[in-house]
Every structure is written in structure tokens, then in C-alpha cells.
Amino acid sequence: MPLVITEGNYLLHNHEGWERVAPLLSHSWFVHIDDEIRQERLIKRHMSFGMSHAEAIAWTMGSDERNAIGVREDVMRADLVITLTQ
């Protein structure tokens, strides 16, 4: 049996057409990380792509944070939730 591993913020999303994805998955895991750690990592990533520190913070706390809130709303659709501590 083939094994396909995929990742994405919206795979468990229940809106805008994404609700058709979850039924296609035989098993789904959600990996949760503390918000502060997630935000720090996003800021560093945005800066590595050329954003200033201020721009990276604004993007992380704006667009990225809105996405994170939306993704969290669908976590209950996961078969397993894994919480990372680092």
C-alpha cells in the first residue's frame, strides 16, 4: 500500500472547498506548538527572506496570526494532536 505524507495549514479546514480534503485522508495529525515559539520562528523566517524586523513582526502578527486562528478552529478534525514543547 502506498504511503503519502502531506502537510498544510488548511488540510483540515472546513471552509472554502477545503472541507473536501479531510475525507480523503485515512489519518490526520495536527502538530501544535506554543504561539510564542511559532511567532518567533515566523519572524526569523520572514527576516531570512529579506523583511526588516518591523516588517516581519507586522506580517507575523497580522496575516500569519489570522491564519493561525483559523487553523486552530479545525484542530478537532484531526485524528491525533501532537504538542511540541520546543
pLDDT digits (tens, 9 = 90+) for 15-33: 899 999 999 999 999 999 9
Rg for the chain, CA atoms, rounded: 15
What pTM value is reported for the model?
0.78
Yes or no: say if 32 and 83 are a contact pair by the CB < 8 Å rule. Answer: yes
pLDDT score, position 86: 76
Q: What is the pLDDT of residues 30-78, one digit of tens each?
A: 999 999 999 999 999 999 999 999 999 999 999 999 999 989 889 999 9
How far out from the chain centre does Cα 19 lie? 16
Residue 13 and residue 15: Cα distance in Å, rounded?
Answer: 6
